[in-house]
Structure 1
Amino acid sequence: MLDDTQWFDRASLDARSFAARRLAGEPVTMLIAARVGEHLRGFDRHVPTLTLGPLDGAAAGRLLDLRSQPRPAG
């Protein structure tokens, strides 16, 4: 998972874009998050994208309920 990728430097984006192209067809998923309207060079032509909108309050609550719980010590 890569978050806030609009702040990544060019070399870092190039490396991730290269990896995404090489992994095409493999059972691997890359999650890359950026602000709406940000252009992520290298991820516009070669990699399928899915743009998601914001979650409403109920959906956000369900997502938080599904998060993994810390394991008890011991």
Structure 2
Amino acid sequence: MNKFENPIPQIVNAVAEEEGVEPVTLDPPLAEVVDPDAVERVVEDSTASDLEVRFAYRGHDVVVDDSGRVQVD
């Protein structure tokens, strides 16, 4: 069940928005913190109704849930 396309741009945009900066200015790049291909595969290929992918990035807790929603705290 493919809930949404690629979560990576959503994650980058959400972190940048939280910080009030442009996505291209995020350092380190997301790919240096997590494997974006692995995150994308897990989220897109999952049929679990309670999926959560959770990791830390730039001091934020990032959560991608089964509906495709990205939350940055």
Query: Structure 1 length as normaliser, TM-score?
Result: 0.34
Larger radius of gyration: 1
Q: If the length of structure 2 is used for normalisation, what is the TM-score? A: 0.35
Q: Higher strand fraction: Structure 1 or Structure 2?
A: 2
